[in-house]
Homo-oligomer: A and B are copies of this chain.
Amino acid sequence: MHIRVIRPVIDTTLTPAVTDEVEHWAAPGTTVDVVSLLSGTASIESEYDEALAGPGIVQRVEEAAVDGVDGVFITCFADPGVHAAREIIDAPVVGGFEPSFLTAMSLGDRVGVVTILPNVVPMLRSLTRRYGLDSRLGSIRVVDMPVLGLTDREELIDRLAAQASAAVQNGEADSVVLGCTGMLGVTSAVRDRLHGKGIHVPVVDPTASAITWLESSVRLGLTPSRTTYMTPPVKARKR
């Protein structure tokens, strides 16, 4: 199985770390490759960033279709370009939000998200309503660190554990979702911190759950619905 991981940003410095992470989670027999965008932004922290990333993402999806990959993971929790991508490739496509949030729903009642900055909270709230999942959303909290600052791993773990604990103790969360695919390799540490405080709730990693979600979808032979994601009509397009 071949999964194409599309980082919807122009940054390449984190590509090795992302590659390590997705390879860590991939099953034996799954091949993963990771690409960034040729145009777009260094990170996605606004609707504006998402708008700028659009053409770069669909270009990478078109390449993935030509390459005949089996699944596509667009590594951003805001699911940028995911719905466009499903229109143009006969393979399952996910971002970070759907697989982690839906997985979390099968483990606890209220899903609490801990994301990066206040800036993206309204985007995630809109996404939750778009998906019809708002009755299961507990709260969205932030660690108040930008995507490109997440490399301070200890600080990140501290803040995630603090926010996740607060969410659970305030009755806002029964399952916790890490709300940024740039939070790499910290999930088990956060879970351990919570356990140390006597808090036993699942902590769902968006990258890890995206990889296993795609693998499952491929094994199940599933591809996007063509009544929801109809093939775009032919017309003049200029990039």
Contact A224 B108 (CB under 8 A): yes
A46 to B168, CA, bound (A): 20
Q: How far is the CB of A90 from chain B (nearest CB, A)?
A: 9
Q: How large is the interface on A (under 10, 10 to 19, 20 to 34, 35 or more residues)?
A: 35 or more
Question: Interface-forming stretch among A14-22, A118-126, A152-160?
Answer: A118-126
Shortest A131–chain B CB gap in Å is 7
Contacts of A230 in B (CB 8 A): 46, 118-119, 122
Alpha-carbon distance A86/B40, docked complex (angstroms): 19
Measured between alpha carbons, how far is A48 from B85 in the docked complex, in Å?
Answer: 7
> Which residue of the partner chain B has the closest CB to A216?
B212
CA distance A127 to B212 in the complex (A): 26
User: Is A136 part of the contact surface with B, judged by Cβ < 8 Å?
Assistant: yes
Q: Which of B117, B119, B125, B130 contacts A129 (CB 8 A)?
A: B130
Q: Which residues of B have CB within 8 Å of A148?
A: 235
Cross-chain contact B40 with A238 (CB below 8 angstroms): yes
Known contacts A47-B83, A51-B57; 19 further A-B pairs (Cβ under 8 A): A39-B239, A48-B84, A48-B88, A51-B81, A52-B58, A52-B237, A99-B106, A103-B222, A107-B224, A109-B126, A118-B227, A119-B232, A122-B228, A129-B132, A134-B135, A173-B227, A174-B225, A174-B227, A174-B228
Ranked 10 nearest A-B pairs via Cβ:
A108-B225, A51-B54, A54-B54, A132-B135, A212-B216, A200-B226, A46-B232, A51-B84, A47-B84, A42-B236
